[in-house]
Structure 1
């Protein structure tokens, strides 16, 4: 009996049990966890719990992740485990209203077909001759589906927000309602300049897929109470009764998305064919002043870095157009839900927004220019000068100009002074939610989509995320308070300074190569973008789309993208390898330490 209870054997037994228990817990019971992180990284917020408690019908969640049958790139596997753990927490907190299905689709299987039908996207793995899935779909009792097509680690801070929006979208019995007031013709129409029938603006179709859209007259004197949001497009010369209706709508809690423009190219073209002397700009100065924001009068933005390419005439070399710009992710507010899954946005002859000093509202930029940009007088668009000369005037500075902004906070009514002098009791300051975009051409089809050909059923080709930006803003407006203010999920950061230093060293080694490739890719894509782009008729020569691009141009773009992916994959693999090493150390350190102590005790006290 004494031999059995020797200290060395007791320690060996304890160490073995701890090792076995750790392995079983890690493989069989991954849902049991205690979140001891300072920011509660592995927990859901109280707002999310409120959403789950408010579900009035059961939902099914389908989480697709290709893990066992393909080799996933870099740190994706670690992020997928985090997503899966979070979804299991959702299922547990929903008390039976959510059923989670975890699917690992085999290549070329029915499960992959199901993922495609549910709206998920796959990422190709050329070196393995296959692709992998990493997305989530939700389905209700009527088999209507909503999907997060692909999870990306770069959007980790929005993870809980994306899942919440997916669940709320699937759980909605009735689509939210939004209104539209526009002075621009957006429906199918005949173009006198080209003598062709023009299709309806396709962003409306994107909005109608998720919202009930009601068109209102520009002289409306009251906004319907059932509308949760309102879209204003090029609101010029609106009567005072309409301005008062808009002001009252915002003051009473309605959300407003407004598109202004220092010069509407669509109207400019119409004026060239049929001159009427009508105004081609919109500013809404009275309302903007009350909300604490202004659009610089008679100014358009020229950007030397984000300038897109265009050609004067077929066969001529493409040149950079400073007023025709393509905004990359770096120019967007990545902390705002409006840019969720938005990669690029195209604008043309856009205006510039600025906060009014002393305003009580908060001015949050959503879209900004590069540091190589400047405002131009509107009159200079009519100068008979080469665009290259205008480009040469643009210099680099530390200033970024705001092209779209979110306005929130307490604001007075724009008609408060009139009410003060009347028998009507002036309203108190109200909390407003307004998004202002200083361009209307952002909505035009030619800026973001190549329309399909009805004769051969060719589908439209989306080449920029302009419509997604609009839908994101409206989705944000109509989300419940629990979704509007989600607890941003912090990125998982290394805990030890040595690990941080190793990761920084790895990233520094790749940064210079990556920046060179990204610059080259931007230049190549700008050339390819001209395939679909039309430019405004502001030159003496007629601008035409660049209708042909060589196969070599496309191959060059694809090769640059492949090089970027390879660099990122190499970096991610090195970081993932370091992470696996640390995990093994964390798992086995205590058991091995106990075993070493047991061996030491046994040698010190032999039988």
Structure 2
């Protein structure tokens, strides 16, 4: 057989083998996945994988994506839809048949579009016919519970895995509303906390919590936490009894989660005034610090110090010797965006938080010895570095914003305002439960003796990992700092003011999830910029920037000179121009035309340079692989030629 025929047969055999391998791999390796992205963007976190493996009942996912309309929307939506579908397939692959994925293309005037609208998905109008583009997810379980993500926006890609995992986790645990146990010394639900002051209508954030969860007020003097309570919410737990502190401690030791808002100076805590001695009430402490519990969680907070933040200070109207003046109040401030943890889902996406007379949370100096290596503390929100700890007594009687500004001296460090403590912790009551309070002697003539409740075993350390979020401010939850409330025909209408209420709800939602859900963090960005292209564009822009700025300055000077000449007034307002001035105006007009043309030419040259760079990169990308194959082929041919010549 000739060498030519042999080569042709080998080529045909290679083609057939290539097609066969592709067809076989499509079927055999359908479930195989290799994630080569730097941040493992297409690999589920361990927490999400555990949620999939531990599904209690089947969950059905319906992914609605208007694929046939994708050509009419920006390309990032199509790319993002592909990524969402691939991530959903990863969930299905790990769920061992308990997760079913269905993909729908809701074209206009179809049954699929009616289904999307019926599920509450948010279609986006994209053309003159008002066709709706859908990109959303619906989940259902066997008892017809529904969870919906109305629109999957590329701008929220960092939280995509968390949103899907939360949806799946919620549907796999059907049942009644989750229970939030409330502990507070403030009249959060309304009422008259102080008999000398009018009754309050209750805090708006409490109404928001009741819309989503069952809220149970435990008071301040309880000795156990009902097993039905899913999370404890502490808001200014001042004067918590030892028995109540022990109950909270044992709740945490059993793996319970806690969201605690404490405060060195609660502006809403108004101690009862003594008519005989008005100063007595003003001297009373307005602090709440949780006593031994905070130390057992590895934290400290000085109740005689408040955080003042110059960089984020809010403006207030304050009385001065010159009358009311607008000025910054150091103790009311908004943290910088980069001081808010973007990787933790309790704070991810938050930008507009406001604090008032907050404290500084610090990790215990002996954390490693006292707490051990089973727990960790992570900062969620912090002040700027232009901050100072201010004595609490300076605002107890009559806050002076102007005086605080004059005395401000930055400590050149930031202070934590909210932290997350996670892991296993020691009990705050190492010696066991506190002694029970003395009770009145029982009536010997009582008909029946009440059987004492059986005591539960003391837990000296965490049975399960816990999650605790501690915030050093309670005033941030008041209506003034978190909501806008209007009374309309007897109804309280609420809308968010800033993101303080969002932070509260995010933290509760996060802590009410499983430990697997809480462990999730924001993922990296799916969008990988063309860094080389962007650097080249920046270099080209810098090259033309100075020249363009010089022309802009000359144009401004010429326009000012021209305006001065054209609007000269003499006598009764009539402009009198000499032939020389008229000639100068004509010259300036011509110069302006020339400079504006020069400016346009510079911008055109910049665009051309960028396009030339893009063309070179495209040519390099398209030609590099064929050129590499050609070079390898040429090298192999040359090597064979040399070997033949040696024979």
Q: How does 1:458-477 map to 2 (within 5 A)?
A: 459-477=493-511
Residue in structure 2 matched with residue 327 of structure 1 by the alignment: 335
Instruction: Show CA shifts across 1:436-477 (max 9, x none).
Output: 111112222222221243328785221323233223333333
Deviates more, 1:173-182 or 1:59-68: 59-68
What RMSD over aligned residues (CA atoms) do the two structures have, in Å? Answer: 5.3
Q: Call closer, same or farther: CA 1:408–1:481 in 2, change over 3 Å.
A: closer
Q: How does 1:483-522 map to 2 (within 5 A)?
A: 483-486=517-520, 489-492=523-526, 500-503=531-534
Q: Call closer, same or farther: CA 1:78–1:196 in 2, change over 3 Å.
A: farther
> Contact 1:12–1:598 (CA<8 Å) still a contact in 2?
no
Instruction: Show CA shifts across 1:70-91 (max 9, x none).
Output: 6555755434322221112223
> Per chain length, whose mean CA-contact separation is higher, i.e. which structure has more relative contact order (CA < 8 Å, sep 6+)?
1
Q: Call closer, same or farther: CA 1:185–1:125 in 2, change over 3 Å.
A: farther
Q: What is the alpha-carbon distance in structure 2 between the residues aligned to residue 592 and residue 9 of structure 1?
A: 26
> Contact 1:285–1:294 (CA<8 Å) still a contact in 2?
no
Give the one of 351, 355, 365 matched to 2:363.
355
Q: Does 1:436 align with 2:450?
A: no
1:299 offset after TM fit, Å?
Answer: 1.8
Residue in structure 2 matched with residue 82 of structure 1 by the alignment: 83
Q: What is the alpha-carbon distance in structure 2 between the residues aligned to residue 386 and residue 127 of structure 1?
A: 59
> Contact 1:420–1:426 (CA<8 Å) still a contact in 2?
no
Q: Call closer, same or farther: CA 1:92–1:300 in 2, change over 3 Å.
A: same
Q: Does 1:283 align with 2:289?
A: yes
Residue in structure 1 matched with residue 481 of structure 2 by the alignment: 447
Q: What is the alpha-carbon distance in structure 2 between the residues aligned to residue 111 and residue 310 of structure 1?
A: 54
Q: Call closer, same or farther: CA 1:88–1:3 in 2, change over 3 Å.
A: same
- When normalised by structure 2's length, the TM-score is 0.66
Residue in structure 2 matched with residue 43 of structure 1 by the alignment: 43
> Contact 1:7–1:601 (CA<8 Å) still a contact in 2?
no
Instruction: Show CA shifts across 1:502-525 (max 9, x none).
Output: 4466689999xxxxxxxxxxxxxx
1:185 offset after TM fit, Å?
Answer: 0.9
1:485 offset after TM fit, Å?
Answer: 3.0
Q: Does 1:292 align with 2:298?
A: yes
> Contact 1:296–1:354 (CA<8 Å) still a contact in 2?
no
> Contact 2:220–2:239 (CA<8 Å) still a contact in 1?
no
Instruction: Show CA shifts across 1:167-188 (max 9, x none).
Output: 1112321243331111111224
Q: What is the alpha-carbon distance in structure 2 between the residues aligned to residue 474 and residue 367 of structure 1?
A: 16
Residue in structure 1 matched with residue 314 of structure 2 by the alignment: 308
Extract unaligned runs of 5+ from structure 1: 512-573, 603-607
State the secondary structure of the residue aligned to 1:262. coil
> Contact 1:69–1:107 (CA<8 Å) still a contact in 2?
no
Extract unaligned runs of 5+ from structure 2: 437-455, 543-609, 638-647
Residue in structure 2 matched with residue 206 of structure 1 by the alignment: 208
Q: What is the alpha-carbon distance in structure 1 between the residues aligned to residue 117 and residue 312 of structure 2?
A: 35
1:583 offset after TM fit, Å?
Answer: 12
Instruction: Show CA shifts across 1:42-71 (max 9, x none).
Output: 233554344234334443324345663465
> Contact 1:119–1:137 (CA<8 Å) still a contact in 2?
no
> Contact 1:16–1:591 (CA<8 Å) still a contact in 2?
no
Deviates more, 1:388-397 or 1:48-57: 388-397
1:370 offset after TM fit, Å?
Answer: 1.6
> Contact 1:146–1:166 (CA<8 Å) still a contact in 2?
yes
Q: What is the alpha-carbon distance in structure 1 between the residues aligned to residue 7 and residue 192 of structure 2?
A: 93
State the secondary structure of the residue aligned to 1:172. coil
Q: Call closer, same or farther: CA 1:157–1:79 in 2, change over 3 Å.
A: same
Instruction: Show CA shifts across 1:241-285 (max 9, x none).
Output: 212222222223222211111222223498699978254221223
> Contact 1:30–1:85 (CA<8 Å) still a contact in 2?
no
> Contact 2:350–2:503 (CA<8 Å) still a contact in 1?
yes
1:34 offset after TM fit, Å?
Answer: 3.8
Q: Does 1:482 align with 2:492?
A: no
Instruction: Show CA shifts across 1:162-208 (max 9, x none).
Output: 21111111232124333111111122447999998754433234334
Give the one of 411, 414, 418 matched to 1:400.
414
Residue in structure 1 matched with residue 583 of structure 2 by the alignment: none
State the secondary structure of the residue aligned to 2:385. coil
State the secondary structure of the residue aligned to 1:266. coil
Residue in structure 2 matched with residue 525 of structure 1 by the alignment: none
Q: Does 1:370 align with 2:384?
A: yes
1:416 offset after TM fit, Å?
Answer: 1.8
Deviates more, 1:115-124 or 1:459-468: 115-124
Residue in structure 1 matched with residue 239 of structure 2 by the alignment: 237
Instruction: Show CA shifts across 1:407-452 (max 9, x none).
Output: 2344332222577999x99854435532211111222222222124
Q: What is the alpha-carbon distance in structure 2 between the residues aligned to residue 402 and residue 179 of structure 1?
A: 26
Name the larger-Rg structure: 2
Q: What is the alpha-carbon distance in structure 1 between the residues aligned to residue 274 and residue 147 of structure 2?
A: 45
- When normalised by structure 1's length, the TM-score is 0.70
Q: How does 1:572-583 map to 2 (within 5 A)?
A: none
Q: Call closer, same or farther: CA 1:456–1:259 in 2, change over 3 Å.
A: closer
Name the count of aligned residue pairs: 530
Give the one of 212, 218, 221 matched to 2:220.
218
Q: Does 1:166 align with 2:174?
A: no
> Contact 2:194–2:270 (CA<8 Å) still a contact in 1?
no
Q: How does 1:514-553 map to 2 (within 5 A)?
A: none
> Contact 1:254–1:433 (CA<8 Å) still a contact in 2?
yes
Q: Does 1:54 align with 2:68?
A: no
Q: Call closer, same or farther: CA 1:123–1:200 in 2, change over 3 Å.
A: farther
Residue in structure 1 matched with residue 440 of structure 2 by the alignment: none
